[in-house]
Structure 1
Amino acid sequence: LTALLSYDEKPGIQAIGNIYPDKQPDEKHGYISRNHDYKRNGTLSLMAGIDLITGQIIPLVEERHRSLEFVKWLELVDRYYPDDYKITIIMDNHSVHTSKETMKYLSSRPWRFNFVFTPTHASWLNIIEMFFSKMARSMLRGIRVDSKDELKNRMLEYIQEINNEPVIFTWKWKMDEMPGGITL
Structure 2
Amino acid sequence: MKCFRRIRQRAIMDRFEFVYTPKHGRWLNMAEIELNVLSGQCLKRRIDDIAVVRREVLAWQKFRNNKSAKVNWQFTAEDARIKLSRLYPTLEG
TM-score (structure 1 length as normaliser) = 0.29
Name the one with the larger strand percent: 1
Larger Rg: 2
Name the one with the larger helix percent: 2
TM-score (structure 2 length as normaliser) = 0.50
